Amino acid sequence: MNQEKTEELGKELSKLLILRAKKLEDSLKEIVVEVKSENINELLRNNKLIFLYFTAEWCGPCITFLQTFKEVAAQHITPGVLYGKVDVDSSYSIADKYKVKHIPSIIIIMNNEVVDSIVGQTSKEKLENKILSYIHSSSPP
């Protein structure tokens, strides 16, 4: 293979990788669903296990930790498990319903019952372990 052909293939591969990265980034945004008053009841009805991430646009730690939440969610996509994000300013009624006093917080709901919560930031490893423990306990043997 000549030099010109190799460079052409390299450029083509680079374009494909950039496109693939963009698609992955877009799909990552969809993994964490925006939860609002209008859709919460349907989401509760249709999912056995829900991880609700409570955040606000003005909260620096929330923005930082959201990336960790998204990364862990992307690695543990499971049928019947929903990863949701609740903006406490625009969906105050949800935050009030679950008595969220501090953000960032994650409320863990199994079969429509709050079973656990994580208040504040935690390491990716601890978050992943917590999520995995609930996924394993919610799935049939």
What tens digit of pLDDT does each residue of 37-67 get? 999 999 999 999 999 999 999 999 999 999 9
Spatial separation of the C-alpha atoms in residues 19 and 52, rounded to whole Å: 30
| 3-class state of residue 88 by DSSP | coil
Spatial separation of the C-alpha atoms in residues 43 and 40, rounded to whole Å: 5
Q: pLDDT for 64-109, tens place per residue? A: 999 999 999 999 988 889 999 999 999 999 999 999 999 999 999 9
Across all residues in the chain, what is the average pLDDT? Answer: 88
- In the structure, what pLDDT confidence band is assigned to residue 24 with cuts at 50, 70 and 90? low
Q: ∠ CA 70-74-20 to the nearest 5 degrees? A: 105
- For residue 101, the 8-state DSSP code is -
b/e burial code for range 31-63 (CB count within 10 A of at least 16 → b): bbbebbeeebeebbeebbbbbbbbbbeebeebe
Q: Can you give the pLDDT at residue 16?
A: 80
Instruction: Give the sign of the dihedral formed by CA 75, CA 129, CA 56, CA 35.
Output: positive
Which residues are annotated as catalytic? 59, 62
Per-residue tokens: 19:
């496109």
Q: Can you give the pLDDT at residue 52?
A: 97
Spatial separation of the C-alpha atoms in residues 41 and 14, rounded to whole Å: 44
Which residues, in sequence order, are bridge partners of residue 53? 85, 106
- For residue 89, the 8-state DSSP code is T
- Asked if residues 71 and 108 have their Cβ atoms less than 8 Å apart, the reply is no
